[in-house]
Amino acid sequence: SHWERRMARASTAPDFTLDLHGCTLDQAHNRLDHGLAQARAMGARLVLVITGKPRPVEAADRGQRRGAIRAKLIDWLAAGPHGDAIAAVRAAQRRHGGEGALYLVLKRGA
C-alpha cells in the first residue's frame, strides 16, 4: 500500500511518538487515549506507539506478563474514542523499534 512504501523510506519519520513501554496496563491505556487526543489535535498522520518487545515466555522476575500492552493495544484502539480516526495499524520499521513498536496511520482531518 501507499503507507507501506512510504514508511519503508528512510526519510519518513513519525509525526508523533507515544511511549507506553514500562507502563502498567492502566497507565498505558490512559497514555494511549491522551496521547492520541494530542496527536489528533496536532494534525499528526503517522503515530509511532512504542509498546516494548514481547517475550515468548514470561520473565521469572516479573509479576505480570511481558507483551501485555501490545496484546491489549488493538482492543483498546477498537473500543476507544479514537478508533474511527485510525486508517491503519502497521508494524514499525526496525529503525523505529521493530517488533517493539507499531505505526498508527490517522485519517486526514480526523
Q: How far is CA 91 from CA 33, 48, 50, 58, in A?
A: 20, 10, 11, 23
- Using CA atoms, how far apart are residues 36 and 80, in angstroms rounded to an integer? 10
Whole-number pLDDT of residue 43: 93
Which residue do the cell numbers 502498567 mark?
Answer: 24
Per-10-residue mean pLDDT for the chain, 110 residues long? Answer: 64 87 91 96 93 63 65 90 91 79 86
Whole-number pLDDT of residue 1: 61
Q: What is the pTM of this model?
A: 0.80
Whole-number pLDDT of residue 65: 58
Closest alpha carbon to 108 in 52, 55, 45, 35: 45
